[in-house]
Amino acid sequence: MRNLYLRFFLTVWLAMVTVLVCTVLTTGWLASQRRDAEIEKQDDLQRQAQEQLLQEGVNGLREWLQHEIVLVPPDRLYIVDEQGHDLIDRSVPPFIQARLGRRPLPESVGATGGGRRDERLLSKLVSPTGESYFLTISSARQPSGVFGNVETPYIWGVMALLVSAIVCVLLARYLSAPIQLLRSATHSIAAGNLTVQVSKLLGHRKDELGALAVDFDAMAVRLRTLLDSQQQLLRDVSHELRSPLARLQIALGIARRPGADLLQGFDRIEQEAQRLDELIGEILSLCRLDDPARPMQIERVELDELLEPMVEDARIEGEPRQVRIDLQVESALSLEGDRELLHRALENILRNAVRFSPDAAIVTVTATRDSEAVRIVIRDRGPGVPADQLERIFEPFHRVGEARDRDSGGYGIGLAITSRVVKLHDGRVSAANADGGGLQVTVRLPINRTL
C-alpha cells in the first residue's frame, strides 16, 4: 500500500480493533470463569443447605445460614421462602423478589442442575413437609438499564469501533496533510520555483512537522542563495575573462601588422596569458572551497610558525616602497586547522594591506588569545573602504575601485577566498575602517574545532 494516509489509518485502526477484540474475549472468558465458580459454589451450598433442611428442619437451616453468611461476602447469600422472606429477616434485594414473582422456578433447577447453568439465579430447596425455599449467591445489587442487558458488550464494541475509526481518520489526516503539502512544495522546487514557502501554512504547529516546515523553508532559501550566487559567479567570471581575452586579441592584432615588433608582441601575449592563468587559478580555488567533498587536513598549527614566513615574504614585497610590517604574536598560541588554507587566507589579507599602503607606511599584524579563540588583526594605513562596502569586499569579484584594483593586479577574489576559509574553520572575518585611517581586518578562529 503506497498511500501513507490509508496505511497509517489501517495500521492504527486494526491495532485498536485487535486490542478491543482481545479485551472483549478476555473479559468474557474471565466473566465465564467467575460465573462457573459462583455456580459451583452455589451448587455446593445448595447441597449443604438441602442436607441441613432434611436433617434439622427450618431452624437448622436458619442456623446454617447464619453460620455461612460469615464465610461468604456480606449480602451475597440468601435463602428465602415462597413468599420472598429471608430466613433471618434481612431485606431481600428487589431482583430476587422480581425473579420469584415473574415465573415459577422449574423443578429441574436443583441439586442436579439443568438448562443453562449461567442463567440460573435461584436454587430450590425442599423440606420434608414439602415447603419450598430458594437459595441464591449473587450480588446485592442487580445492574440496571443498558448495563444489565446481554447486548451491552456488543453495543460497547460497536461504539468503540466507530469512535476509533473517527479518531484514526482525523489522526491520519492530521499527519498526512502536512506531508502532502511538503511533497507539493518539493515538486515546486524541482520545477525551479525556489520562492515556495510552507512554514506560513505549517508554522502554527509546534510539533516535528512544524519544525520540518521551518527547516524546509531554510533549505529553499539556502538553495536560492546558492543558485543566485552561482549565477552571479558565472556572470562575474564571464566579465573577468573578457578583459584578458580582449587584450590577447589586441596583442595578436598588433603582432600581425607589417613590420611589428614580434618580440614585444609575444611578451604582451605571454603577460596576458599569465594573467588569464592566474585568474582561472583563483576561480578554481574559490570553487574548490565551496565543494563539501573537499577534505581538510586538520592539524595543530602554531601561529608564530605560520605568520613569520608569511610576514617575511610580505616585507620583501614592500621593500621597494619602504613598507614595514610589525608582527606581534602571543607566545604559545596555536589552533586546529588546515595549515595550507589558513596560510592562504591570511596571506591574502596581508598582501592587500601591503599593496594598498602608502610608501613608508607600517602594516601591523597581531595575534592574541580571545577566550576560546584566536584573534588575528591586520591593519594598514591605506585609504580604507567606504562604510557601505565593508561587508561586500568579501564577495567574489567585488572591487572598491575598478581602476585602482586593476592597477594593483587584483581580481576581487582574494578576500572571498579568505571568507570561505574562515567559515570552513567555524570562524568569523570582519573589516572596519580604523581610527586614524587605514583598513583593519579581524579574523577570529576557534582554538579547538568542534566535531
Give the per-residue pLDDT at 185.
Answer: 83
**Region 288-304: what's the mean pLDDT?**
80
Give the per-residue pLDDT at 147.
Answer: 45
Which segments of the chain belong to CATH 3.30.565.10? 297-446
The answer, yes or no, to whether residue 428 has pLDDT greater than 90, is yes
Give the per-residue pLDDT at 154.
Answer: 65
130-180 residue pLDDT tens: 888 888 876 544 444 444 445 556 666 777 777 777 877 777 777 777 878
Which segments of the chain belong to CATH 1.10.287.130? 194-294
pLDDT band at 411 (very low <50, low <70, confident <90, very high): low
> Over 78-126, what HEC string results?
EEEECCCCECCCCCCCHHHHHHHHHCCCCCCCCCCCCCCHHHCCCEEEE
The answer, yes or no, to whether residue 252 has pLDDT greater than 80, is yes
- Determine the CATH number of domain 4-148: 3.30.450.160
40-94 residue pLDDT tens: 888 888 888 888 888 888 888 888 888 888 776 656 788 888 888 888 888 887 7
The answer, yes or no, to whether residue 265 has pLDDT greater than 50, is yes
310-333 residue pLDDT tens: 999 999 989 999 999 999 999 889
Task: Name the CATH topology of 194-294.
Answer: Helix Hairpins (1.10.287)
**CA–CA gap between residue 15 and residue 157 (Å, rounded):** 14
Burial call 279-293: b when 16+ CB within 10 Å, e when fewer: beebbebbeebeeee
Which segments of the chain belong to CATH 3.30.450.160? 4-148
**CA–CA gap between residue 66 and residue 59 (Å, rounded):** 11
Q: Into which CATH architecture does domain 297-446 fall?
A: 2-Layer Sandwich (3.30)
